[in-house]
Amino acid sequence: MTLIVLGDKQQTAILIDCNIREAADDPDDDTRDVAKDLRERLQRDSQGRPYVDAFLSSHPDQDHCRGIRKHFHLGALENYPDDKKPENEKKILIREMWSSPIVFRRASKDHILCDDALAFQKEAKRRVQLARDKQCSGIEAGDRVLILGEDVDGKTDDLRAILVKLDEVFDTVNGAPNQVFKARLLAPLPMSNDEEEEEGLSKNHSSVVLNIELADDPNRRTVKDFLTGGDAEVLIWEKLWDKYKKEPEVLAYDSMLTPHHCSWHSLSHDSRTDLGDKAEVSADAKSALSQIRQGGYIIASSCPIKDDDCDPPCHAARLEYESIADGAEGEFVCTGEYPTESDPAPLEFTISDGKLAKSVRKAAMHAPAILTAGIIDRIGSKAAEAEAVKRGGNSRYA
């Protein structure tokens, strides 16, 4: 789950995927309450409803959309049910959905959707239908959808206004151009006529891959790129390298979320279970993922990475990414280990003053407690004794 808060006046928020386990919602469980972490970083609209300006679903795997039914409002805005609920129980509005066309496809044996994914698909379909009905104009926040990539058989041809084609650069968020945001759509790649290749490109492999350009503010004094690729695996990266090796700047990044939670299979076709250390890294895939800029960050969104047989996250993949980061005097960071394995907390980065920096304080920040009228009264009566402020304006004028 990645939240991007843009440096514009509105502090536009873009959420990439969502993985909120039930354990995280259980106050008696020690699992970090990531829903709370998310909520306290979101703005409220005029009616006090928390919202994200855009929600990008990279692909519909459960670990990328878990908790969406519980924590997000899916449906028309007029049916928002939580206005009278406490702050922490209000569902989060999605002003604009960003989705690959895979969500419109029927489930099949290769395309089995979990309940959260089905709910997301249903909402995306509702929004697409609304766009069709309104010929893609006059659609309000809460009903907007952006389709990242064309669907097969011209199914998205009539949705050009809400469609981003492969290789296109777009700069709109929630229907409005944004001066501090720009993104190039690198995947999902079009279906292949080669049956074997198509099998490799399907489902997990067909995640949305975006290289997102983020500026610190509308003056764009500092601009940094963030490469995110969902669970895209080795074939995708090989094809991307083949496509862009003559212009590798397209793939250059200052920070990158390792594909598929630091999986070996984003770097190699070989099975480590079968081949152990003889499993070879795909040179092309690694090249695609090595376009790190000086001082950049590679982030694994995963549990702590141990030197064991687990995959993902895979320790051997970590070593590969660390070698990429080291080559650019950069840093590899695992969210499950940050700041400590025993007490991980949200990892945050800030773009400012020419730098992309981990903002440690905010990452370690706790949620504010609730200040009730009683507490305010108590604080106020103590303060009133001190008469630290005096009513009235100046008694002297000039």
Partner 1 sequence: MPSEACIMSRFLEEGVSEADSFLLQECGARRLPDCDALTVEGRDLVAGWQLVVQTPMAQRRLNIYADPQFPFSLPHFFLLDRPPFLSWPHIEEDGLLCLRPRRVTKFRQPDKVIGQLLSEDVYPLIVACESGANQNDFRTEFYSYWNRGLSTEEDMVRSLLEPRGPSRLVQVWRGQTCSVVGETEQQVLAWLRNLHGNEPQFDSTDTACLLWMEVPMLPAEYPRTAGDLYRIAGSITGGKELLARFAKAGVSPFYFVIGAESGNGPCLAVVRAYKPISTDIRGKTRDPANDGFRPGKVPPRMQTQRLFSSDAGASRLQVDRVDAEWVHGRDQDPRQETLRAKTVLLFGCGSVGAPIAHQFAMAGVDHLILVDPKKLSWANVGRHPLGADHVGSKKAIALAEIWSKAYPHARFEGFDVSSHLFLAEHMELATKADLILCATADWTSELGLNFRQVCGEIAAPVLYCWTEPNACAGHAVLLFHEGPCLQCGFSTSGDCKLQVTEWPQEKELKMEPACGAVFQPYGPIELLGTISVGASLGLDGLLGKVTAATHRIWAGPESLLLEAGGTWSKAWINGNMERSKGGFQEERVWGRDPLCDVCGGSDAATRLSSKSGNPDNVSSSTLLS
Using CB under 8 A, list all residues that contact partner 1.
7, 9, 43-44, 46-48, 86-87, 217, 350, 352, 359, 361-362, 365-373, 375-377, 379-384, 386-394
Closest residue by Cα to residue 314 from 270, 376, 367? 270
Minimum CB–partner distance for residue 352 and partner 1 (Å) = 6
CB-based contacts of 350: which residues, under 8 Å, 6+ apart? 356, 357, 358, 359, 362
DSSP helix/strand/coil, 169: strand
DSSP helix/strand/coil, 144: strand
Minimum CB–partner distance for residue 89 and partner 1 (Å) = 11
Nearer to partner 1, 76 or 365 (CB): 365
Minimum CB–partner distance for residue 358 and partner 1 (Å) = 12
Minimum CB–partner distance for residue 262 and partner 1 (Å) = 28
User: 275-280 long-range CB contacts below 8 Å, 24 or more apart?
Assistant: 277/316, 279/316
For the CA atoms of 45, 49, 53, 57, the dihedral, rounded to the nearest 10 degrees, stands at 180
Nearer to partner 1, 45 or 194 (CB): 45
Nearer to partner 1, 166 or 363 (CB): 363
Nearer to partner 1, 85 or 245 (CB): 85
Minimum CB–partner distance for residue 38 and partner 1 (Å) = 14
Nearer to partner 1, 138 or 392 (CB): 392
Cβ(212)–Cβ(251) below 8 Å = no
Looking at the DSSP assignment, which residues form a beta bridge with residue 19? 66
Nearer to partner 1, 40 or 198 (CB): 40
Distance in angstroms (rounded) separating the CA atoms of residues 8 and 20: 27
Minimum CB–partner distance for residue 392 and partner 1 (Å) = 6
Cβ(123)–Cβ(139) below 8 Å = no
